[in-house]
Amino acid sequence: MRAPYFLLLTLCLLCCQMSSGVGYLTGLGHRSDHYICARSGGTCHFSSCPLFTKIEGTCYGGKAKCCL
């Protein structure tokens, strides 16, 4: 009884259009700028960077600064 349902599911998956989910697949493998900043040892600040640190990039899509 499971075989017809499995075959129907397989047929539906093969015939469905993948174009609707393509936008989600483009983000795979891209790291957010916040992750890259934290990985390099920096911190994200919306205000100016603390003393003795410098701006090394952005965070949160360019809304904040990555300070090292």
Query: Based on the structure, what is the number of domains in the chain?
Result: 1
d(CA 11, CA 43): 49
Tens digit of each residue's pLDDT (9 = 90 or more) over 40-49 = 999 999 999 9
Q: Say which CATH number the domain at 55 has.
A: 3.10.360
Residues 33-57 have a mean pLDDT of 94
pLDDT reading at 6 higher than 80: no
Q: For residue 62, what are the domain limits?
A: 30-68
pLDDT reading at 18 higher than 90: no
The pLDDT score that the predictor gives to residue 67 is: 96
22 within domain boundaries: no
The pLDDT score that the predictor gives to residue 66 is: 96
pLDDT reading at 9 higher than 90: no
1 within domain boundaries: no
- DSSP state, residue 1: -
pLDDT reading at 35 higher than 60: yes
